[in-house]
Structure 1
Amino acid sequence: EVIDYYETEADGIGAIYDPGIASATRTYEAYLDAVEAHDVTLYRTQAGDEIPMENTSVQVLAPPEGYLAGEDRNENSIVVRVGYGNVSTLLPGDAEVAAERHLTGTYGEDLDATILAAGHHGSNTSTGPGLLGATTSRVVAIQSAYDSPYGHPHHELLARLADRGIPTYWTGVHGTVVFETDGRDVRVFTQREASTDPADLRSAPGVQPGSTDPLESRQTFGAERSPDRVTVRADGGAEGGPAQSTSLAVAEVNEDAAGHDGENLGDEYLTFRNDGEETIDFSGWTVTDEADHSYRFPDGTTLAPGETLTLHTGSGTDGDGHCYWGSGRPVWNNDGDTVFVRTDEGTLVLEVTYDG
């Protein structure tokens, strides 16, 4: 329907870029039929390709050669980073956990983007902590209907965005959203005026698809921003620098417990080590994974210099260098995951990715 619309009622389609993964679904067959019927140029594209656009950098960051996650279509969405002057936009398509882990592991801070489109229409399986930490975006845009049958955007994503204080535009309440830039400043236009606080989006009235309300300017901001990555001292104070503790380290990740993971949760664990010279006070600090499972250290939890602290996924009694998550199921993926540690104020202290 999209191809038919643009070819018959709009300005047409110059080209289509496709990851090259075939499907036997009727939707995919209809898509190929429309491409053929309208004689639209179809390109297979992957990481490393560039899409030509005058005075603009359009880089394809994913999928990689060989694909990800058994050629899962969402995990192998085309991910594009668009750069113009000092302004950049990351468009991750329907990328989920495996794709985001690949992106952060491959590109790291090069993913930094002024504007971030939420993955998979705001699904809780996309736009995870790792991607948000790498992009450090000024604004996020979510494209989904107000009454999406899938419940998009999911409350888990909105909570992640709210925790980071990222202004968020959602087509479900703002209507059409347009970002306009001269390469230095970004101007945002929407059809409706509504809060951009992610925590408030669900309380705003919805905009029906096809609304003809005019676009109006809502916000203007510069592409350059103050540093938001910090080094946290052992006492929890913040200093300018990368988001990594100078003393806290992950000494071991035992993601694959002996036997069946779900039946031996006590043997799935992380071990932290204090490589500094001061005791670390973990009171209120949190540990999360890429799926945003979260554990909060009890008040009074400390780690002396040179000592280790093991966090078990299962249940038990805290003490003697051991803490227990109390989860009823495995947390750490056997095929790779990312460990995030944050202070009680939400400052990122440590980010460690393992491959499994």
Structure 2
Amino acid sequence: MFKSRGLSILLFVVVLLLAGCSGSAPADISTADPTPSPSPTTTDTTTANGTVQVHYINVGQSVSTLVVGPTGETMLIDTGHFTDDGEYVLQYLQRHDIDRIDHLVVSHNDADHIGGNAVIINYYETEANGIGAIYDPGIAASTQTYERYLDAVEEHGVTLYETREGDSIQFEGVDTQVLGPPEPYLDNDGRNENSIVLKLTHGETSFLLTGDAEDDQEAYLVDKYGNQLQATVLKAGHHGSSSSTSGDLLDAVQPGAVVISSAYDSQYGHPTDEVLQRLHDRSIPAYWTATHGDIVLVSDGAGVSVRTQQAAPTDPLAIRDGEPVEPGTSGTVVERDRLGATPVTTQTATIVTDGGTTGTADSLQIADINADAEGDDRENLNDEYVVFENTGEESLDLSGWTVEDDAGRTYTFPDSYTLGAGETVTLYTGSGTDSDTDLYWGSGSPIWNNGGDTVTVRNSDGDIVRQETYE
């Protein structure tokens, strides 16, 4: 865990007090020496185990990104605009049964990025399982939104770390590098130009998130790291402003796709024509929360499944042709593309039974989905389940097959598991002892969303053989 430097913290607290923040300094700020993260020049690729989900939440003219690691560990980067007071983000987290935020990252303290901080902190500290720690670049803002954020930190005693380039956030299964802001700060301590910049790596895939970094910080990143910035997916800086996502940055990152978070009718014209032209010139597809809705990227370490709430153009010069999706609108995300290894396929796979007879995946049916457990889902995990039935005349060898939800959380059938002809098996969310008729996911939290989700079954080659959506 990153520990902040004593001198930096002292200066941070002085700045907060001068900014007129209510109360005393934020609670429980560590003053030990920092633990540096490895330089991108020496970092080995993370060994992929399980999946990593990156959710770009549709919050209008704002941004909020949820990352869920292979073990269920969570990171929330920014919390939306002050005008909705965190409502969109909190509702999204609740719909996806996120009962704890292990890492709350504040890219910078503008009100359109910390708008839900106070609400999120208060909710998770009083009604859920808490906030592990908060990571903040340390430049204050003189707004009521910022004051409420610090008041919530102090009231609940949440650990707050001032975070700089080279510091480390320990996130199991995800190599998390902090590439900004540098020390000393850039551009007269401007908040945008000193955003926390994160590179998240899982196996051969990676995600670069630059906050509201603009010309100076992007130039700093390119000059220092060059093509070490290469990433599978880049989130466009500053909502697609012309002062961000420069040609030099795009050439260094070489992303397979860019995600843009801004309002459909942005008063600032985001994303700007200049940025869209830069993407078009480099043949980089763009996914826009305003027309694609919620965007969920799921990495298996080899490639990234791109899932969106709504189908919409990805040609940067045509993205405004898509229909708008209102912020906060719930809906199932559907796989649209795949970046990296193994292209998306929806063809029916051929399977071989344990008797050596060839059958088709049509014989595996989803017989029942019980997503809404009695009482509190979190306390009754094994009353949440999916029942599968083999309606064929031959046994099915399901070894290595997987079941996943909309968010990409994945269960793998045990080796040598066979479902007999005419037999059913129930997959329970919680823990238990596997048998021929009962299997257990082993999750510590609910999987299937009460308000709607999609059950996807893939064979051992990764082909989709059964998919069912419920509302």
Superposed pair shares fold, TM > 0.5: yes
Superposition CA RMSD, Å: 1.8
| SS of aligned partner of 1:15 | strand
1:151 aligns with 2:265: no
> Partner of 1:83 in structure 2?
201
CA positional deviation for 1:215: 1.1
Name the CA distance, whole Å, in 1 between partners of 2:253 and 2:129.
33
CA positional deviation for 1:25: 2.7
2:117 corresponds to which letter in structure 1? I
* Maintained 8 Å contact 2:236/2:258: yes
Structure 1 pair 3/22, CA: closer, same or farther in 2 (3 Å)?
A: closer
| SS of aligned partner of 1:58 | strand
> Partner of 2:323 in structure 1?
205
Name the CA distance, whole Å, in 1 between partners of 2:309 and 2:155.
34
Structure 1 pair 11/211, CA: closer, same or farther in 2 (3 Å)?
A: farther
> Partner of 1:162 in structure 2?
280
CA positional deviation for 1:197: 0.6
Name the CA distance, whole Å, in 2 between partners of 1:28 and 1:223.
43
> Partner of 1:29 in structure 2?
147
> Partner of 1:122 in structure 2?
240
Name the CA distance, whole Å, in 1 between partners of 2:143 and 2:274.
30
Q: Give CA deviations for 1:230-287 in whole Å, capped at 9, x if unaligned.
A: xxxxxxxxxxxxxxxxxxxxxxxxxxxxxxxxxxxxxxxxxxxxxxxxxxxxxxxxxx
CA positional deviation for 1:33: 1.8
| SS of aligned partner of 1:211 | coil
> Partner of 1:95 in structure 2?
213
CA positional deviation for 1:90: 0.5
1:171 aligns with 2:289: yes
Q: Give CA deviations for 1:181-203 in whole Å, capped at 9, x if unaligned.
A: 11101101110001111111112
CA positional deviation for 1:100: 0.4
Q: Give CA deviations for 1:154-175 in whole Å, capped at 9, x if unaligned.
A: 1111111111110110000000
Residue pairs, 1:225-244, within 5 angstroms? none
* Maintained 8 Å contact 1:114/1:223: no
> Partner of 1:313 in structure 2?
none
1:173 corresponds to which letter in structure 2? T
1:172 corresponds to which letter in structure 2? A
2:326 corresponds to which letter in structure 1? Q
| SS of aligned partner of 1:110 | helix
* Maintained 8 Å contact 1:3/1:35: no
- Where relative contact order (Cα < 8 A, 6+ residues apart) is larger, the structure is 2
Extract unaligned runs of 5+ from structure 2.
Answer: 1-84, 86-115, 343-471
* Maintained 8 Å contact 2:118/2:149: no
| SS of aligned partner of 2:206 | strand
Structure 1 pair 118/223, CA: closer, same or farther in 2 (3 Å)?
A: farther
Name the CA distance, whole Å, in 1 between partners of 2:320 and 2:130.
35
1:69 aligns with 2:183: no
What is the TM-score normalised by the length of structure 1? 0.60
Aligned identity (percent) is 52
Name the CA distance, whole Å, in 2 between partners of 1:93 and 1:110.
18
* Maintained 8 Å contact 1:3/1:13: no
1:97 corresponds to which letter in structure 2? D
Name the CA distance, whole Å, in 2 between partners of 1:145 and 1:198.
16
Extract unaligned runs of 5+ from structure 1.
Answer: 225-356
* Maintained 8 Å contact 1:6/1:12: no
1:3 corresponds to which letter in structure 2? N
CA positional deviation for 1:46: 0.4
CA positional deviation for 1:11: 6.0
* Maintained 8 Å contact 1:19/1:44: yes
> Partner of 1:59 in structure 2?
177
Name the CA distance, whole Å, in 1 between partners of 2:284 and 2:240.
14
Aligned pairs, how many? 225
1:6 aligns with 2:116: no
Q: Give CA deviations for 1:9-65 in whole Å, capped at 9, x if unaligned.
A: 776432221111123233322221232234322110100011111121100001111
* Maintained 8 Å contact 1:87/1:223: no
2:283 corresponds to which letter in structure 1? G
Structure 1 pair 25/5, CA: closer, same or farther in 2 (3 Å)?
A: closer
| SS of aligned partner of 1:37 | helix
Structure 1 pair 12/144, CA: closer, same or farther in 2 (3 Å)?
A: farther
* Maintained 8 Å contact 2:118/2:148: no
* Maintained 8 Å contact 1:74/1:94: yes
Structure 1 pair 55/213, CA: closer, same or farther in 2 (3 Å)?
A: closer
Name the CA distance, whole Å, in 2 between partners of 1:15 and 1:174.
31
Structure 1 pair 41/198, CA: closer, same or farther in 2 (3 Å)?
A: same
| SS of aligned partner of 1:14 | strand
Name the CA distance, whole Å, in 2 between partners of 1:195 and 1:11.
39
| SS of aligned partner of 2:194 | coil
CA positional deviation for 1:4: 3.8
Structure 1 pair 29/157, CA: closer, same or farther in 2 (3 Å)?
A: same
| SS of aligned partner of 1:153 | coil
> Partner of 2:256 in structure 1?
138
Q: Which among 210, 223, 242 is matched to residue 105 of structure 1? A: 223
1:42 corresponds to which letter in structure 2? L
